[in-house]
Amino acid sequence: MAMEMQAPKGTKDMLPQDAYKWHYVENTFRNVAKTYGIREIRTPMFEHTELFLRGVGDTTDIVQKEMYTFKDKGDRSITLKPEGTASAVRAFVENRLFNEAQPTKLYYITPAFRYENVQKGRLRQFHQCGLEVFGSKEPSMDAEVICVAMDTLKELGLKNLSLNINNLGCPDCRPKYNEALKKFLEENYDGLCDTCKSRFEKNPMRILDCKERKCKEITKNAPIILDFMCQECDTHFTKVKEYLDILGVPYTIDPGIVRGLDYYTKTIFEILSSEFTVCGGGRYDKLIEELGGPSMPAVGFGIGIERMIMMLEKEGIEIPNEALIDLYIGARGEEERKYAFKLAHNLRILGVNCEINHMGRSIKAEMKFANKLGALFTTILGEDELKNEKITLKRMSDGETFDVSLNDTEAIKKIVK
């Protein structure tokens, strides 16, 4: 097959036989979000590049190496969305949602795009379930956001989850830490990769997130931000831990967590399953103001859907398959096929998932096809059924049959649903 007729590297088709897995993850997330009073937002797939330069940070790997950026026909710089938070904040500010009663709780399910090395569970087009809460500075909101993530992962069936938390400080205490970190790194500056050298002056904390082996070796004994926290950050972090304790959510304090985005302040967290990070997030109290809104705190997280499905399969968790067809209606002749066509339509109006024969199959072949579709019930229309206005519904799981009036669609629905 010619290269242009293949999916681009780092993208993957979601095929019909796999759709139920995606529905399961997405619907679980939606249902958990609903219990916390969180509403959905949908933002464009692309934004002006400046949004991500200001929001994500021009010293991050995402901006420096991974963004899909291009000029549109109006010579404007446009970028495919690499993550969901900046777009959600832009929508919050542009639509002046800050004038409403706070907090504003929003969730989204969105594609995102990053040009990075393709590996298992990491694609160039991927999909995220995300949550953003605007307007609350309370540590209880940090804990609640973490609980939404934990509840979602548990509801999906994942066990052996581990929550790691850290505090990145704020603009008051982080400069002192950056100075201490730069002083530590100076001795090994020449050993840093070129990207980390470019970050040394402007954002040395980004160096802690570098994946290069030599940089990880240099930074393994670096000073930690927790030793430099101001009183406000220290108190906030203590209260976040207290709220997690109230709910019985176990956690580990991990000073090594930095996260790959510049907007984080104070609380950050990661949730791991089988040593894979399946969720990451934290507080970002300056981003709304940075993007043109009022000074307003915020906190959120993102879950990668592809990685989530991979983890469910890895742990042998059975994802419930959706029943595609409630009733398959077979027909023996031309008149019966016409009646089956009408009956299926009337049942679909009532919410019954139906299928009929559009391929001219024999009755035997129809029943094989119905079985392949996973139809819960089948029925066959023939001369006698039309004459007597009665049909027999057969439950495929155990073969039990139910006689019902051909024209009583409500009774048919009651049986097959």
Full pLDDT tens readout for the chain, 417 residues: 455 789 999 999 999 999 999 999 999 999 999 999 999 999 999 999 999 988 787 666 677 778 999 999 999 999 999 999 999 999 999 999 999 999 999 999 999 999 988 776 679 999 999 999 999 999 999 999 999 999 999 999 998 899 999 999 998 998 899 899 999 999 889 999 988 998 888 888 888 888 888 998 999 889 998 999 999 999 999 999 999 999 999 999 998 887 756 788 999 999 998 778 899 999 999 999 999 999 999 999 999 999 999 999 999 999 998 888 999 999 999 999 999 999 999 999 999 999 999 999 999 999 999 999 999 999 999 999 999 999 999 999 999 999 999 999 999 999 999
Distance separating alpha carbons of residues 257 and 173, to the nearest angstrom: 17
CA separation for the pair 73, 81 (Å, rounded): 19
| Same domain as 274, residue 367 | no
Q: How far apart are CA 142 and CA 244, in angstroms?
A: 9
Residue 13 resides in a domain? yes
Judgement on whether residues 374 and 406 belong to the same structural domain of the protein: yes
CB-count burial class (<10 Å; 0-12, 13-18, 19+) for 295: exposed
Phi, psi (rounded to 5 degrees) for 355: -140, 145
Q: Which neighbouring-strand residues pair with 331?
A: 381
DSSP 226-246: GGG--HHHHHHHHHHHHHHHH
The alpha carbon dihedral of 145, 149, 155, 159 has a sign of negative
- Quote the CA–CA distance of 283 and 241 in Å, as a whole number: 14
Provide the domain count of the chain: 2
Asked if residue 197 belongs to a domain, the reply is: no
**Does 38 fall in a domain?**
yes
Nearest CA-CA partner of 298 in 28, 97, 163 = 97
3-state secondary structure of 301: strand
CA dist 134 to 18, 45, 103, 176, 332, Å? 35, 21, 5, 28, 61
Angle between helices 231-246 and 139-155 (to 10 degrees): 40
Contact 323, 376 (CB under 8 A): yes
Judgement on whether residues 12 and 88 belong to the same structural domain of the protein = yes
Asked if residue 208 is part of any domain, the answer here is no
Q: Quick check: 293 and 286 in contact, CB under 8 A?
A: no
Alpha-carbon distance of 107 to 365, in angstroms, equals 46
Rounded alpha-carbon distances, angstroms, from residue 237 to 231, 265, 385: 10, 11, 71
Structure confidence by residue, pLDDT tens digits, 215-246: 989 998 899 989 999 999 999 999 999 999 99
Give CA angle at 144 (138, 149), nearest 5°. Answer: 140
Write down the pLDDT at residue 80: 97
Q: Are residues 146 and 47 in the same domain?
A: yes
For tokens 């004459």, name the residue. 387
Closest C-alpha to 257, from 231, 283, 286: 283
296 and 364 belong to one structural domain: no
- Domain that includes residue 255, residue range: 8-173+229-314
Q: 165 with 71, same domain? A: yes
Strand segments (E) across 49-188 = 69-71, 77-80, 104-113, 125-134, 161-167
Do residue 51 and residue 155 come from a single domain?
yes
CATH number reported for the structural domain that contains residue 392 in this entry: 3.40.50.800
Residues 253 and 293 both lie in one domain: yes
- The answer on 347 and 306 residing in a single domain is no
pTM of the model: 0.89
Same domain for 270 and 404, yes or no, is no
- 198 in any annotated domain: no
Q: Is residue 127 part of a domain?
A: yes
pLDDT at position 298 is 97
The total number of residues written for the chain in this structure? 417
**Radius of gyration, CA atoms only, the chain:** 27
* Residues 40 and 73 occupy one common structural domain: yes
Domain endpoint, select from 314, 337, 367 = 314
Strands 161-167 and 252-253: parallel
Is 303 inside a domain boundary? yes
Strands lying side by side in the sheet with 104-113? 39-40, 104-113, 125-134, 298-304, 276-283, 267-273, 161-167, 252-253
Q: Are residues 168 and 308 in the same domain?
A: yes
| CATH (domain of 259) | 3.30.930.10
- For residue 133, the cross-strand partners are 105, 299
Q: Could you say which of 314, 345, 372 is where a domain stops?
A: 314
Q: Please tell me the distance from the alpha carbon of residue 162 to that of residue 249, in angstroms, as a whole number.
A: 10
Measured distance CA(47)–CA(156) in Å, rounded:
32
- Asked if the structure places residue 389 within a domain, the reply is yes
At which residue do the structure tokens 């595609």 appear? 324
The last residue of one of the domains, among 281, 314, 347, is: 314
